[in-house]
């Protein structure tokens, strides 16, 4: 396909420590690039509907924490399943936009789930920016081009001293870090 990646790290995740990895979601390549960029073992939290995709769905539902976003019960169950994974030493990866935004939207609003989970478990948030995925391998058929896919792993956002009332502020801080990076790279 002609893709190469370039990974810049402001901070490197430590082995055997749990994190909440979050990134902008723009492409079919996001999941694969996350697996390349992050060496710590982690599990994705993803929407249940993707489990219906032939072949992909078979592996997806065995390796991800699935959430039915229309069900409050399912959303609450994610916290319990994530807690078990965190206690076993894994990290969690969530694309907090809750899906891929429209092509003209640079970065959609973030849902609060990843931030509440990180605060509740006192694990650092690791903001990650995928700068070129939309350009390289978009959700629009017959679009894209070969080239470099840049990844920036930003400084971690600590959560030890935070409580649930800090969720919105943490959400906003993480979103601004990723959005500012996208704007800088767009110039």
> According to the model, what pLDDT value does residue 12 have?
96
Tokens at residue 121, please?
């478990």
> According to the model, what pLDDT value does residue 142 have?
57
> According to the model, what pLDDT value does residue 1 have?
53
Q: Give the largest Cα separation in the chain, rounded.
A: 47
- Provide the pairing of β-strand 42-47 with 64-67: parallel
> According to the model, what pLDDT value does residue 134 have?
64
Residues lower than pLDDT 70 in the chain: 1-3, 99-104, 133-147, 187
Burial of 46 (0-12, 13-18, 19+ CB in 10 A): buried
Q: Do residues 174 and 115 touch, judged by C-beta distance below 8 A? A: yes
> According to the model, what pLDDT value does residue 32 have?
81
Domains and CATH numbers, the chain: 3-186 (3.40.1130.10)
Q: Residue 58 and residue 87: Cα distance in Å, rounded?
A: 25
Secondary structure class of 183 (helix, strand, coil): helix
> According to the model, what pLDDT value does residue 160 have?
96
Q: Residue 181 and residue 166: Cα distance in Å, rounded?
A: 23
pLDDT tens figures, 29-77: 778 888 889 999 999 888 787 777 787 777 777 778 888 877 888 877 8
> According to the model, what pLDDT value does residue 187 have?
57
pTM score of the predicted model:
0.87
């Amino acid at each position: 396909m002609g893709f190469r990646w370039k990974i810049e790290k402001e901070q490197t995740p430590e082995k055997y420590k749990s994190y909440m990895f979050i990134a902008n979601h723009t492409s079919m390549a996001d999941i694969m690039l996350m697996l390349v960029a992050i060496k710590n073992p982690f599990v994705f939290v993803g929407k249940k509907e993707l489990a219906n995709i032939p072949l992909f769905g078979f592996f997806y539902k065995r390796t991800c924490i699935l959430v039915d976003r229309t069900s409050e019960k399912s959303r609450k169950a994610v916290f319990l399943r994530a807690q078990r994974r965190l206690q076993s030493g894994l990290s969690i990866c969530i694309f907090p936009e809750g899906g891929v935004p429209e092509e003209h939207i640079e970065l959609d609003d973030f849902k609060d789930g990843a931030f509440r989970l990180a605060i509740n478990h006192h694990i650092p948030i690791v903001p990650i920016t995928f700068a070129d995925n939309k350009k390289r391998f978009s959700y629009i058929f017959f679009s894209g081009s070969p080239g470099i896919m840049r990844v920036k792993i930003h400084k971690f956002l600590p959560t030890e001293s935070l409580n649930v009332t800090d969720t919105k502020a943490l959400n906003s801080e993480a979103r601004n870090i990723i959005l500012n990076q996208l704007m800088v790279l767009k110039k």
